[in-house]
Chains A and B, each alone.
Chain A
Amino acid sequence: MANFLQQVVSGLATGGIYGSLALAIVLIYRATRVINFAQGEMGMFAAFIALWLIDSGWPYWAAFFATLGLAFVGGVLVERVVIRPVERAPVVTVVIVTVGLLIGLNGAAFWIWGGDTRAFPSAFSTRAIHVGGVAFSIQDFGVIGVSLGAVALLFLFFRFTKLGLAMRAAALNPEASRLVGVRVGWMLALGWGFASVLGAVAAMMVAPTIFLDPNMMRPVLLYAIAAAILGGLESPIGAVLGGLILGVGLNLISTYVDFVGDALKLPVAFVVILAVLLVKPTGLFGRATVRRV
């Protein structure tokens, strides 16, 4: 039982990370109908910048928030510079541009910082606290708090501010939004900015446990994509829940099902998702879109 609870909590921590990256993917999908394959690498790059700031003497949280600011600007720039020119191209073309970004950012990180694995400081102590005979790591709770906190802030922003409303309108119905004076192009760019911030949060939360190197976000991105499909690409809540379900589920499966272990975690995730898609082609929380012909 104790082991079970520990696995659930650490599953929620990784699930929170998958969920925030999945939410980043869903935000961009809703706004631009594209899967951003560079989402993970953008986060990785931000984490390297954070480490660089910390190494030059910044306190952790100062570096954390400065990095989020830079990530936001970076996300907006990416949309303006490379995504906007292919706005009217077929979806596959835009996806290829994001694959190009993935390759480029990964290469740039190798070029600037080298391929060595580095330790990344954690804001939380790795000490364990004991609740009723079960040892939980403080770091797990910290990670859950930060990633879900970021998601909650974003939710409040979209729900209760005028800018958030404009961004939702631009994503749902660009033509009508343009008619009522929303600057749709800039709203999409802001969406990329927020997605980039979420990616940076995910990367900085995951880096202390899996260590920092240019390839570190590859598996995280795959799990996040899996979480996004599981929850439904259309649904932000679904993405976060999908991440949590995936994090906890995979942790339990690899602990209790011997056949799976660590090696088959990723295939199992995708097989489960394929099965879910067969039953519900738009994911657990997605709704089928009805189009007028």
Chain B
Amino acid sequence: MSRRRVVTLAAQGIAFLLGVAVLVVLPRWLSDFHASEVAYVGIYFIAILGLNILTGYTGQISLGHGAFMAIGGYTTAILVGHHNVRDLWTIPLAGLIAGGAGLLFGVPALRLSGLYLALATFGLAVALPAVLKKFDDFTGGTEGIQLFGRPGFTGKGYENVHVLGLTLTFNDWLYYLCWTIAVVLFVVAWIVLGGRMGRTFRAIRDSEIAATSSGVNMPLYKTLAFGLSAFYAGVAGSLFALATTFVNPDTFPIVLSLYLVIGAVVSGLGSIWGIVAGALFIQYVPDLASKYVSEAPGAPSVAYAIILIVVVVLMPFGLTGLIRKTTRPLTDRLFRRS
């Protein structure tokens, strides 16, 4: 291993451990309400991680990842709400079903390139709410499905949640649930993307022709990336359903899909180390815009748009692009051969 690689790995390890440490102790200083907000940050974190695997690593743009979140969310809602399944078990199932849908969608997606794929996924996300409304026996139609108070749902009214010998408020429970899963999935992505598969993904992104001629089974890996990415989105959607305690077709609007892409761009495509910035951006910037700028109707959107455009113009490669750019002069000097 080269010296640069060792130092990078060490820096990533330290960043990871610091991050986990912060996550463990953070609820001590958070009010109950803020704990639930940070739980949503965890959910966006998972979804953006999935989107980044697809868009950042294999270069397939999806403007419709909210659709895979919806599939995951509805899996959980139907199982918990209609069949009284224990909610925790539905989370991996939601991931698997969304992942399966992703694999299925990934096959025809092979034929589409660039923005055609982006628009096809966008169409999927646009069409889904109306489809959910139409098949109301299964999905509860416009009224949706209530999870709160169902036997399989962990949070019961205002009582605390007892788990692993701990007593937590519902929001603290959500916080730890979402972030535990987020950290596990992050480590999985770290290992998978750092190894052979990640290298193959990046080879496809950089040049499909070069990758194919070096013996990469391109259709297989592109479809796999779609499935893996949709799995992450499905888990995020499942947690989203548990956090809102309720789903209906408007829980996963097309705007959500676009927000995920915004999050991925702000994080920096092709790296998993800036994602927390994208997730925080999705959760907090719209609120900040209405809290500190003006509450006149429309004004927060204007502020949000200006912040978004300025951020993207200043860091077109996201947070990780900025980090890379600012640390490069330093690290170059460090590793220059004397």
Interface of B, secondary structure class, is helix
**Looking at the complex, which one of A86, A96, A112 makes contact with B261 (CB distance below 8 Å)?**
A96
Q: Are B61 and A107 in contact (CB under 8 A)?
A: no
Q: With A92-B265, A267-B130 in contact, do A97 and B313 touch (Cβ < 8 Å)?
A: yes
Q: Are B298 and A111 in contact (CB under 8 A)?
A: yes
Contact string against A for B residues 90-132, beta-carbon threshold 8 Å, 1 for contact and 0 otherwise: 0000000000000000001001111110111011101110110
Chain B residue, CB-CB nearest to A88: B316
Q: Does B26 lie at the interface of the complex (its beta carbon under 8 Å from any beta carbon of A)?
A: no
A107–B300 alpha-carbon span in the complex (Å): 7
Contact string against B for A residues 228-265, beta-carbon threshold 8 Å, 1 for contact and 0 otherwise: 01000100000000000000000000000000000110
Q: Are B299 and A277 in contact (CB under 8 A)?
A: no
Chain A residue, CB-CB nearest to B210: A293
A contact residues around B55 at 8 Å (CB):
92
A86–B313 alpha-carbon span in the complex (Å): 6
A31–B269 alpha-carbon span in the complex (Å): 24
Contact string against A for B residues 125-157, beta-carbon threshold 8 Å, 1 for contact and 0 otherwise: 011101101100000000000000000000000
Please tell me which stretch of B3-11, B73-81, B187-195, B304-312 contacts chain A, meaning at least 4 of its Cβ atoms lie within 8 angstroms of it: B304-312
| B-facing residues in A7-22 (Cβ within 8 Å) | none
Chain B residue, CB-CB nearest to A279: B111
Q: Are A264 and B123 in contact (CB under 8 A)?
A: no
Q: Are B264 and A92 in contact (CB under 8 A)?
A: yes
**Looking at the complex, which one of B112, B269, B302 makes contact with A277 (CB distance below 8 Å)?**
B112
**Looking at the complex, which one of A29, A85, A278 makes contact with B108 (CB distance below 8 Å)?**
A278
Q: B122, B127, B130, B262: which has the most chain A beta carbons within 10 Å?
A: B127
A contact residues around B63 at 8 Å (CB):
95
Q: Are A104 and B306 in contact (CB under 8 A)?
A: yes
| B-facing residues in A188-222 (Cβ within 8 Å) | 214, 222
Q: Are B302 and A281 in contact (CB under 8 A)?
A: no
Q: Does B301 lie at the interface of the complex (its beta carbon under 8 Å from any beta carbon of A)?
A: yes
* A interface residues, how many (CB within 8 angstroms): 52
Q: Are B298 and A109 in contact (CB under 8 A)?
A: yes
Q: Are B316 and A267 in contact (CB under 8 A)?
A: no
Q: Does A149 lie at the interface of the complex (its beta carbon under 8 Å from any beta carbon of B)?
A: no
Chain B residue, CB-CB nearest to A113: B298
**Looking at the complex, which one of A99, A222, A281 makes contact with B113 (CB distance below 8 Å)?**
A281
Please tell me which stretch of A50-58, A125-133, A176-184, A268-276 contacts chain B, meaning at least 4 of its Cβ atoms lie within 8 angstroms of it: A268-276
B193 to chain A, nearest CB (A): 18
Q: With A96-B312, A270-B123 in contact, do A111 and B130 touch (Cβ < 8 Å)?
A: no
Q: Does B209 lie at the interface of the complex (its beta carbon under 8 Å from any beta carbon of A)?
A: yes
Contact string against B for A residues 14-55, beta-carbon threshold 8 Å, 1 for contact and 0 otherwise: 000000000000000100011101000000000000000000
A222–B122 alpha-carbon span in the complex (Å): 10
Q: Are B120 and A277 in contact (CB under 8 A)?
A: yes
A112–B298 alpha-carbon span in the complex (Å): 8
A contact residues around B312 at 8 Å (CB):
86, 89, 93, 96-97, 100
Q: Does B40 lie at the interface of the complex (its beta carbon under 8 Å from any beta carbon of A)?
A: no
A contact residues around B209 at 8 Å (CB):
293
| A-facing residues in B253-305 (Cβ within 8 Å) | 258, 261-262, 264-265, 269, 296-302, 304-305
B contact residues around A271 at 8 Å (CB):
127
The chain B residues found within 8 Å of chain A, CB to CB, are 55, 61, 63, 108, 111-116, 118-120, 122-124, 126-128, 130-131, 133-134, 209, 258, 261-262, 264-265, 269, 296-302, 304-306, 308-309, 312-313, 316-317
The chain A residues found within 8 Å of chain B, CB to CB, are 29, 33-35, 37, 82, 85-86, 88-93, 95-97, 99-101, 103-112, 114-115, 214, 222, 225-226, 229, 233, 263-264, 266-267, 270-271, 273-274, 277-278, 281-283, 293
Going nearest first, the 10 A-B pairs with the smallest beta carbon separation are A107-B301, A110-B298, A104-B305, A89-B316, A111-B298, A270-B123, A267-B127, A100-B308, A107-B302, A107-B298
10 contacting pairs across A/B (C-beta < 8 A)? A89-B316, A93-B317, A95-B118, A96-B265, A96-B308, A104-B301, A104-B309, A225-B122, A263-B130, A281-B116
Other contacts beyond A97-B312, A99-B262: 6, CB < 8 A? A89-B317, A91-B114, A95-B261, A96-B308, A109-B298, A283-B116
